[in-house]
C-alpha cells in the first residue's frame, strides 16, 4: 500500500506517541509525513545536542539535550550496554564498553538511527581491575588513562572508516582503518615531553583526511591518512603566553572553523595554569595561520571566528557550527560554549551545566542569564554528569 496516503491526523497521533528520535525519523520518511507533523514538534530539538551520561564510569543511559531549546530525551546505547562516550564527529559518537577484565570494545554509533560500526578491540592489563570496579570513579580514572579521546572520519561505515585514539597510559596515538587488523601505532609521544609538565593531556582531531594531535608543551603534529604509510610530521609549536608561565592544569582543545583553519581553545582548569606572580585569562582562543606557519600571539587573543561558534566538552572533544546571530535563540557567533567543570575557582560555586565564553568581552557566564528559571530547573531535575558530556550534530548520515 501507499503509506504516503495515511491520514494526517493518524500520523500526528502516531508522532505524539513516539520518543524524539522516532519522531525525527518519522518526519524524514517523505514530504507528506513531514507536513503532518506540527512545526513546533519539529523545532523542539534543534542542534547542537549535548550527550550527558547519567553516571560516571560506564553509564546505562544518557540525556540528549538540545542546547538552543533545553528540551531533552533519554538515549540508551544499542543493546542496552553500559558505555562511555569518548568522542564525536558530526552525528556519530564513539563509545567504549568493557567486554571482560582485559578487553575493551569500541564502537561508532549514530543515536538517531542506531547505525553501528565496530572498531578493533583494545586489550589491556594495566587497568583491568578498574573496568568492573563497583566505584564509578575508579572506572573513570582507568578509562580516562586508557582512552583519553577518540577522533574519526565522518559518516563511517564498516567498509570505510578511519579512527585514532590517544592514551595517557602509554602516551601513544593509535589508529585503525577499515580493512586492517587491529590498532596500529601512529605516533609515540616522547615521555620527556610530558614529564616536564604536570598535566599530561593529549588531544587528537580529524579534519579533511588528516589527524592532528597536540601535547601540553604546545607541539602540534599532523598525519595524512590518505598516504599509503602515514607518518606524523611537525606542524607548529605554540609558545607560552608569558615567558615565565608554566602550563600546570591548563587544558587545550583542537578545533577547526568553517574555513578549515585550526584553532586551539585554551582553558584554565581548577584555578591553575600560571605562576603566582602572573595573571592569565580563564579562556582564550588562538588560530593557526598556514601562510606564516604560526599561531596567533597569546598577547592578542582572537575576538572573532567569522560567524562560527565553538563547542567543547569533556576529554578535549570539540566542534564548530555556523551560528546566525539574528535568530531568536541565545546561541551566538564568536562564543565558546562548554559543559566541563567551571574553569576557575571564581566560577566553581553552586553552578554546573552549560557555560559560554564571549570572545569579544572575554567574559564567562551562563548563556541565558543569571535568573533563567529553565536552567535552574534542569540543574535540579537532571541526574547527569555535565562535566562528562560531549557535543553532537544530529543527522541521518
Cβ–Cβ < 8 Å for 143, 162? no
Do residues 314 and 350 share a domain? Answer: yes
What residues make up the domain containing 2?
1-44
Domain assignment present for residue 359? The answer is: yes
Domain assignment present for residue 132? The answer is: yes
Do residues 26 and 157 share a domain? Answer: no
Backbone angles phi, psi at 30, to 5 degrees: -160, 170
Do residues 286 and 386 share a domain? Answer: yes
Collapsing DSSP to helix, strand or coil, 12 comes out as: helix
Asked if residue 63 has a cis previous peptide bond (ω within 30° of 0), the answer is: no
Tally Cβ neighbours within 10 Å of residue 365: 14
Do residues 163 and 224 share a domain? Answer: yes
pTM for this model (two decimals): 0.86
Backbone angles phi, psi at 90, to 5 degrees: 65, -120
Domain assignment present for residue 397? The answer is: no
Do residues 264 and 338 share a domain? Answer: yes
Q: List Cβ<8 Å contacts ≥24 apart for 258-263.
A: 258/306, 258/307, 258/308, 258/320, 258/322, 259/306, 260/207, 260/208, 261/287, 261/288, 261/289, 261/290, 262/207, 262/212, 262/220, 262/287, 262/288, 263/287, 263/288, 263/302, 263/305, 263/310
Do residues 260 and 362 share a domain? Answer: yes
Cβ–Cβ < 8 Å for 334, 304? yes
Domain assignment present for residue 93? The answer is: yes
Across the chain, which distance is largest between two alpha carbons, in Å? 76
We report the CATH number of the domain holding residue 89 as: 2.120.10.80
Distance from C-alpha of 361 to C-alpha of 263, rounded to nearest angstrom: 19
Do residues 259 and 379 share a domain? Answer: yes
Number of folded domains that form the chain: 2
Do residues 29 and 97 share a domain? Answer: no
Encode the chain (397 residues) as per-residue pLDDT tens digits: 677 778 888 888 888 888 778 888 887 788 888 887 765 555 678 889 999 998 888 898 999 988 877 788 889 998 888 999 999 998 999 999 988 888 899 999 999 888 999 999 998 877 777 777 878 888 888 887 788 889 999 999 999 999 999 887 777 889 999 988 899 999 886 554 444 444 456 788 999 999 998 876 678 899 999 988 899 998 988 765 554 444 445 677 888 988 889 998 877 654 444 444 456 677 888 898 888 888 887 667 788 888 889 998 876 678 888 887 555 467 888 999 888 655 554 554 455 677 888 999 888 877 765 555 555 566 556 667 777 889 999 888 8
Do residues 249 and 383 share a domain? Answer: yes
Do residues 274 and 331 share a domain? Answer: yes
Collapsing DSSP to helix, strand or coil, 60 comes out as: coil
Do residues 96 and 15 share a domain? Answer: no
Do residues 40 and 127 share a domain? Answer: no
Amino acid at each position: 500500500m501507499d503509506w504516503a496516503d495515511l491520514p494526517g491526523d493518524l500520523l500526528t497521533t502516531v508522532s505524539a506517541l513516539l520518543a524524539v528520535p522516532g519522531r525525527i525519523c518519522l518526519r524524514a520518511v517523505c514530504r507528506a509525513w513531514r507536513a503532518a507533523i506540527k512545526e513546533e514538534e519539529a523545532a523542539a530539538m534543534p542542534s547542537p545536542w549535548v550527550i550527558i551520561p547519567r553516571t560516571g564510569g560506564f553509564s546505562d543511559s544518557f540525556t540528549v539535550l538540545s542546547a538552543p531549546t533545553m528540551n531533552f530525551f533519554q538515549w540508551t546505547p544499542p543493546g542496552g550496554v553500559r558505555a562511555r562516550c569518548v568522542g564525536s564527529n558530526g552525528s556519530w559518537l564513539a563509545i567504549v564498553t568493557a567486554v571482560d577484565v582485559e578487553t575493551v570494545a569500541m564502537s561508532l554509533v549514530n543515536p538517531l538511527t542506531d547505525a553501528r560500526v565496530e572498531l578493533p578491540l583494545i586489550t589491556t592489563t594495566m587497568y583491568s581491575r578498574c573496568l568492573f570496579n563497583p566505584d564509578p570513579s575508579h572506572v573513570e580514572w582507568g578509562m580516562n588513562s586508557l582512552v583519553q579521546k577518540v577522533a574519526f572520519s565522518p559518516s563511517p561505515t564498516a567498509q570505510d572508516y578511519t579512527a585514532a585514539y590517544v592514551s595517557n597510559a602509554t602516551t601513544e596515538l593509535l589508529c585503525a582503518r577499515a580493512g586492517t587488523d587491529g590498532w596500529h601505532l601512529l605516533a609515540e609521544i616522547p615521555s620527556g615531553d610530558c614529564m616536564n609538565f604536570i598535566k599530561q593531556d593529549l588531544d587528537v582531531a580529524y579534519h579533511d583526511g588528516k589527524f592532528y594531535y597536540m601535547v601540553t608543551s604546545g607541539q602540534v603534529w599532523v598525519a595524512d591518512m590518505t598516504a599509503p604509510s602515514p607518518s606524523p610530521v611537525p606542524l607548529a609549536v605554540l609558545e607560552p603566553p608569558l615567558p615565565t608561565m608554566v602550563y600546570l592544569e591548563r587544558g587545550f582543545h583542537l578545533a577547526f572553523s568553517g574555513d578549515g583553519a585550526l584553532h586551539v581553545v585554551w582553558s584554565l582548569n581548577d584555578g591553575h595554569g600560571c605562576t603566582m606572580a602572573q595573571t592569565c585569562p580563564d579562556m582564550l582562543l588562538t588560530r593557526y595561520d598556514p601562510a606564516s606557519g604560526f599561531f596567533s600571539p597569546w598577547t592578542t587573543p582572537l575576538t572573532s571566528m567569522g560567524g562560527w561558534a565553538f563547542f567543547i566538552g569533556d576529554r578535549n572533544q570539540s566542534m564548530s557550527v555556523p551560528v546566525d546571530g539574528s535568530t531568536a535563540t541565545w546561541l551566538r557567533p564568536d562564543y565558546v560554549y562548554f559543559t566541563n567543570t567551571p574553569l576557575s575557582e571564581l566560577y566553581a560555586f553552586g553552578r554546573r551545566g552549560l557555560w559560554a565564553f564571549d570572545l569579544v568581552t572575554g567574559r564567562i557566564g551562563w548563556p541565558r542569564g543569571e535568573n533563567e528559571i529553565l536552567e535552574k530547573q534542569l540543574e535540579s531535575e537532571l541526574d547527569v554528569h555535565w562535566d562528562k558530556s560531549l557535543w553532537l550534530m544530529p543527522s541521518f548520515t
